[in-house]
Amino acid sequence: MRKNDPGSFPDNGSDERAPVLSAMLPEQEIERASTVCYALSNPIRMKILLLLASRTYFVYSIKDLFAISDSRLSYHLKILRDCGLIEGSRDGKCINYATTPQGMEICRMFGSFRW
C-alpha cells in the first residue's frame, strides 16, 4: 500500500495496528469462518445446503437430484458435515441428511442478500 493510503498501516516504528487487530475476531473464529467459506465456495455444496434447508433428504435422493457419482457426493457431504453445516442420521441402511442450526443460519443469511 502507498504511504498516504488510508488503509495502510504507519511504518514509523509505532504499533498503531494493535487497535485494528484487536477488533478482529479471535483466531479460532477466523479459522472456523474460513472453513465455512471454503465449504460454501463450491456451487454443488451451496445447492446441497440450500436444498437441505427446505427439508431432510436421504442420500440417494440427493444423488438423484444432482446426478453425481457416489464418491463425488460423499466428498461434498463430508465437507459440509465437517464444518458443521449439515448432519446425517442413519435410518436402517440409509443416511438422512439435514441442516444444522448453523447451516440454517447461513441459509437465512444468503436469503437476505440481494445480488
pLDDT beyond 70 at 114: no
C-alpha 51/C-alpha 76 separation (Å) is: 13
pLDDT recorded at residue 40? 94
pLDDT recorded at residue 44? 97
User: In sequence order, which residues have a C-beta less than 8 Å from that of residue 40 and are 6 or more positions away?
Assistant: 46, 49, 106
pLDDT beyond 70 at 15: no
User: In sequence order, which residues have a C-beta less than 8 Å from that of residue 46 and are 6 or more positions away?
Assistant: 40
**Domain span at residue 91?**
18-112
Among candidate residues 90, 107, 16, the one with its CA nearest the CA of residue 55: 107
Q: 68 in a domain, yes or no?
A: yes
Q: 8 in a domain, yes or no?
A: no
Residues 16-64 pLDDT 10s: 666 666 677 788 888 888 999 999 999 999 999 999 999 999 999 999 9
Give the number of domains in the chain: 1
Q: 48 in a domain, yes or no?
A: yes
Helix, strand, coil shares, percent, the chain, to 5: 55, 10, 30
Q: 26 in a domain, yes or no?
A: yes
Q: 69 in a domain, yes or no?
A: yes
Q: 6 in a domain, yes or no?
A: no
Q: 46 in a domain, yes or no?
A: yes
Residues 59-103 pLDDT 10s: 999 999 999 999 999 999 999 999 999 999 998 999 999 999 999
What's the CATH number where 37 sits? 1.10.10.10
pTM (two decimals): 0.75
Q: 55 in a domain, yes or no?
A: yes
pLDDT recorded at residue 25? 78
